[in-house]
């Protein structure tokens, strides 16, 4: 079962400017990044053996040029 540990959103709506990033824990750590909306956007996924490696990827994604301003969203525990 996947568990969303942390989540970020760039604060913009719309299929061309919205960006989402999730840090997900399963057996391995996953990072999921989406460009655009949930219906027509593009989703990329990476798997890592450690939380540190996954967090490094999240930080890399958040540093990449993107419209808007990243903000972390609360996730259910």
Q: What are the beta bridge partners of residue 25? A: 3, 29
For residue 75, the model assigns a pLDDT of: 62
pLDDT digits (tens, 9 = 90+) for 9-64: 999 998 889 999 999 887 788 999 998 888 888 999 999 989 999 999 999 999 99
* First-to-last C-alpha distance (Å) of the chain: 13
Question: Given pLDDT bands bounded at 50, 70 and 90, which one contains residue 76?
Answer: low
Model confidence at 77: pLDDT above 60: no
Which residues are within 8 A (CB) of 61 and not within 5 positions of it... i.e. 6 or more apart?
Answer: 21, 31, 33
């Amino acid at each position: 079962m996947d568990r969303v540990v942390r989540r970020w959103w760039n604060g913009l709506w719309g299929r061309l400017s919205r960006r989402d990033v999730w840090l997900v824990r399963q057996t391995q750590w996953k990072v999921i990044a989406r460009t655009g909306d949930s219906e027509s956007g593009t989703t990329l996924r990476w798997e890592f053996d450690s939380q540190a490696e996954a967090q490094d990827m999240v930080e890399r994604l958040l540093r990449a040029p993107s419209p808007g301003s990243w903000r972390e969203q609360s996730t259910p525990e």
